[in-house]
Amino acid sequence: MSLIIPKGYVPKLVPELMEQAIFFIKEEFQQSLTEELNLRRVTAPLFVLKGTGVNDDLNGVERPVTFPIKSMNERNAEVVHSLAKWKRMKLAAYNIPAGYGIYTDMNAIRADEDLDNLHSLYVDQWDWERTLAPEDRNLDYLCDVVEGIYECLKDVEREVYYEYPHIRPILPDRITFIQSEDLLNEYPTLSSKERETEIVKKYGAVFVIGIGGELSNGEYHDGRAPDYDDWSTETSPGYYGLNGDILVWNPVLDQAFELSSMGIRVDKSALLKQLAIRGCEERRELAFHKALLNGELPLSIGGGLGQSRLCMYLLRCAHIGEVQTSIWPDEMIRACADAGIVLR
């Protein structure tokens, strides 16, 4: 069991106020996000058909929850891991113009997750996707969108402070950008997670650019599937990738804390390149990949931002189970209860 018990931890809110605060944060943030990114809400699926290529395979090793459909000759469906590819198909179906997009409440089950303070079997996030003009498919545009999302985070943190004055704002005025390769060069003896901890401790809020491609040491900063984010594009000498993670410093757990993963999505050339790099070129025959290669899907940028993660961070909770209902090992429940951490 991997569990952090902060010394002297005391919840900022009693359980009944926690419920109100969770609702407040979710309402405030999604309103701010829709206005900042020109998004409209759509309804998301909980599961998709297996074998279509629509489900997100994350790092390529996580097993989706699968079940047979009686009324469809036992054809298998999969509970979604995320909606990275499904959203892009919806942009095409709704013919949404460049600069506008969609968002949805995504709920998922990740049965292979290692349970700890931050990770749950149950995943809830705002999944968003926006149509991209060809001239905006570049790193500067990605960073502009990140800055807009960061302003939304600061806005809701400020609103939480107005409602609960004892929870003081801690986000810095600006978010810092750094390439994963530059981060490796700055901390060459540390692991990727240790590098994140050091850089986020230093700046408070960081967007790590370029996650999924191989670094100069032959390793990966973190895993990414080959068929949604573009992590192989060379944008300037020594700089690779049009995706990244928003990380903030968590003072309760004393570590870097990921709030969002996002990026500019693959175009035809990036998809072919990344499928070859990962050795899974057979995916070109799947429905989603065929549509992309045939020019039937728009260029896009998108990502996900954890709802429970955001609530946990803004309410200074020690465990994600304080803001969502899931299943936890008995040993974890007992250890948390002894420390005053009430899991739902």
Which residues belong to the active site?
A: 56, 110, 125, 245, 258, 261
Could you tell me if 157 and 146 are in contact, meaning their C-beta atoms sit under 8 angstroms apart? no
Strands (DSSP E) found in the chain: 39-41, 47-49, 66-69, 75-79, 101-109, 122-131, 176-179, 205-209, 234-236, 239-240, 243-250, 255-264, 300-306
Amino acid (1-letter code) at residue 326: S
Among candidate residues 315, 332, 319, the one with its CA nearest the CA of residue 20? 315
Residue appearing with tokens 């065929």: 290
Residue from 131, 81, 127, 129 nearest 104 by CA: 127
- 209 closest CA partner among 145, 166, 263, 253: 263
Beta bridge partners of 302: 129, 263
Cβ distance 101 to 130 under 8 Å? yes
228 dihedral zone (left: phi>0; alpha: psi -120 to 50; beta): alpha
Cα separation, 302 vs 103, in Å, equals: 9
